Structure 1
Amino acid sequence: MAEPEWLKKMNADEYLQEDFDAKGTSRYTVTGLDKKDPNWLAKAAKKVNAAEGDDYVKLDSGLLTVNQINWMLRSTIGELSFVDDNNQFLWYNRPADPKAKMKAKRVPEQVGNTMSDVHPHVADVIPEAKKVVHALRVNQDGHDDVYMPVPTGNLKELVLHYYKRVIDDQGNYAGIYEWVQDLYPLVKYFCETTGQKLVLDEDATTGATYKRNSDPDAASGASTKAEAAAEEKPAEPEPDTTSSASEN
């Protein structure tokens, strides 16, 4: 994935020290359980007497049942997941359709796993993941989020991984949530309703960035169907607007 310049400059001696085996504990760590246990979720919930089903949960700006929260998050656009400050994978918004194909596939049996266990041990996956986590943990250069586009060169597949630093009420690091989404359906709708279109930048080294329209006067930087249509037919006389409402 394309990596921001500020992230590339991180000190390897620091970020490689991230404990992806979650050997420590945080104030919310459920101890005494095997993190690799496929039944970790059920056992941990029982141990802490967790709310479930129609139990109410008071949030800082609402009151919902556990069921309502689950239903809402299953319907949320994109794939969400949460890893705590101890690098333990604790949650993801499981799709309502069990057959749904996920961009960053997760299964219930992984909940409770360490970051080391949920990432494939190939190439530089673990080191790069540690870099992102550590950067957000220490708030590197004031950054509290990381955008990672997945370069495909395909205008009909615009996958983005977004990582956000989560803090508690005192501003302390509490973990990271990740949002994964193919932006194409959103961009497609936007383009169809505005007449704009994406243009592939063949000079881009990653195949994932898109250049703006060469027209320096284009406010949005995108070419439009409306402009193309205007070039194909002569301009019509301007209507009399003296009695009409002002333009937006």
Structure 2
Amino acid sequence: MVIKMEINSSTRILPIIDKYQKVYDELYKLSSKTKRFKNRIVRKTIGKKATIEMASEILEIPIETIISIIKNVIEASGDEPPEKDRKEMLKKLLIDMHKGVDIEILKAQFKEAVGDISSYEIGQLEQQLIDEGFLDPTEITKLSDLHVDLFRDALDMKADYETIPGHPVHTYLQENLEIANLIREIRSVPESEKFKLFHKLRELEIHYARKENQIFPILEKNGISGPPQVMWAVHDEIRALLKTTKIEEIELTLKKVEDMIYKEEHILFPMALESFSEPDWINARKGEEEIGFIFGVEPGVQWKPITAADVHKPLPSQTAKLEDGLNLDVGNLTREQINIMLKTLPVDLTFVNENDEVAYYSDTEDRIFPRSRGIIGRHVQKCHPPKSVHIVEDILKKFKSGETNVAEFWIQMNGKFILIRYFAMRDDEGKYVGTLEVSQELSRLRSLEGERRLVQWGD
């Protein structure tokens, strides 16, 4: 086959890599730095102008070698399997894994047939297999470590992260450094002192809750819901292990936490960086303070994202309007008064609309269960751990059918007695319009005795 395009040191590398996957695979075998050309930030900056000469310097591969690889691949492109076949190979590898084929055999097949894969591709692949019914999220959860092990060689080269203080990924990475330091400290102390340090790891709940409320909803919006479900299930496994009283389970827990750090830094964060837009990251950042941070880590202020809305923001004089009151069935209140009233009530409120989407929660000062703005618009089924989704769906089904209007249960958690009630909301014609969740801490009320007829201040 005659090569129709001129290949020289001034030829731009990115269009060739995008068109010919085999070029990327062959370069990656010579230099793991090739992975930089898959990074979203690099592609939008130096990647646009990178020539073969520049790539040679970055990858530390001679120009002649790169040109030779490109020419050979283009000449053989008539026999090159299309991207569709590559995905089929990857799907077969994962399905074979779930059938019990030896992992070492599969790793050898992956290296021979595919060579490299990005975290974003892994997420898309798992999602596709779930959507097509080949795999169940619970099965992926059981074998999530094997999924990582299969692709570990390709994932070991870390992505080029956004490292500006204030960006959510920067904050997560700083927390991971503190987590790793604490793990090393736990391993180094005598057995008699391990539990005291081990209990500090329970702060991980905040780290995981931020991911579940701030990162996962946006991935789901971008069409990636399977991997977040799998990671959430592993979070719950770690949460349970962090409560252990058995000294022999400490090391197992530490290993699972370390594995989660690896999955975050090699799969979750690169996947998010690849798929999130700048407004997505702004939304991920909003509400982080409501959930909190761990081990003294605080977000910086250097990250200053700019959106189209900022550029075209109207002047205050254009938007300043007096707010009229809202006429209710009884009385008249402004939106501000309604908002303050809902936040003042001694209960946590969450409203889910008729489409099962979270439309509102009361932003009270001391919520029993953490919430953040990331859940607004999210399907309520995605806001619960996979193991309890069937309970949520059963309640909604009974509410929508009219079988019942109230569901309630109570739990004891950290010395508190918590009543959780769900109410079906219906309009005047009886049409279902949503579900209201009301949670209340009742320990003090349950302890009341006798009567008090006059207020006593300070009590």
TM-score by length of 2: 0.28
Letter in 1 for 2:330: S
C-alpha contact (below 8 Å) 2:381/2:393 kept by paired residues: no
- Cα deviation 1:55-82 (Å, max 9, x = unaligned): 4211111211000000111001110110
Give the structure 1 partner of residue 410 of structure 2: 149
Task: Give 1:151 shift.
Answer: 4.8
Give the structure 1 partner of residue 449 of structure 2: 191
Whichever of the two has the greater Rg, that structure is 2
Relative distance call for 1:55 and 1:111 in structure 2 (3 A) is farther
C-alpha contact (below 8 Å) 1:82/1:92 kept by paired residues: yes
- SS for the counterpart of 2:425 is strand
Give the structure 2 partner of residue 136 of structure 1: 399
- SS for the counterpart of 2:416 is coil
Give the structure 2 partner of residue 58 of structure 1: 327
- SS for the counterpart of 1:113 is coil
Greater fraction of residues in strand: 1
- SS for the counterpart of 2:360 is strand
Letter in 1 for 2:379: T
Give the structure 1 partner of residue 355 of structure 2: 86
Give the structure 2 partner of residue 218 of structure 1: none
- CA distance in 1 between partners of 2:359 and 2:332 (Å): 22
Runs of 4+ in 1 over 6 A off after TM superposition: none
Gaps of 5+ in 1: 1-33, 44-51, 195-248
C-alpha contact (below 8 Å) 1:149/1:159 kept by paired residues: yes
C-alpha contact (below 8 Å) 1:157/1:184 kept by paired residues: yes
Relative distance call for 1:180 and 1:116 in structure 2 (3 A) is same
Task: Give 1:175 shift.
Answer: 0.8
- CA distance in 2 between partners of 1:127 and 1:151 (Å): 22
Give the structure 2 partner of residue 210 of structure 1: none
Would you say 1:127 and 2:390 are equivalent positions? Answer: yes
Letter in 2 for 1:111: I
Pairing 1:170-189 to 2, within 5 Å after superposition: 170-188=429-447
Would you say 1:104 and 2:365 are equivalent positions? Answer: no
- CA distance in 2 between partners of 1:172 and 1:94 (Å): 28
Relative distance call for 1:145 and 1:55 in structure 2 (3 A) is same
Give the structure 1 partner of residue 380 of structure 2: 115
- CA distance in 2 between partners of 1:88 and 1:53 (Å): 31
Letter in 2 for 1:130: E
- CA distance in 1 between partners of 2:426 and 2:351 (Å): 12
% identity of equivalent residues: 24
Letter in 1 for 2:348: E
C-alpha contact (below 8 Å) 1:161/1:181 kept by paired residues: yes
Give the structure 2 partner of residue 233 of structure 1: none
- CA distance in 1 between partners of 2:330 and 2:322 (Å): 20
Larger relative contact order (C-alpha < 8 A, sep ≥ 6)?
A: 1
Aligned length: 140
- CA distance in 1 between partners of 2:391 and 2:417 (Å): 21
Letter in 1 for 2:393: K
- CA distance in 1 between partners of 2:389 and 2:352 (Å): 15
- CA distance in 2 between partners of 1:84 and 1:148 (Å): 21
Greater fraction of residues in helix: 2
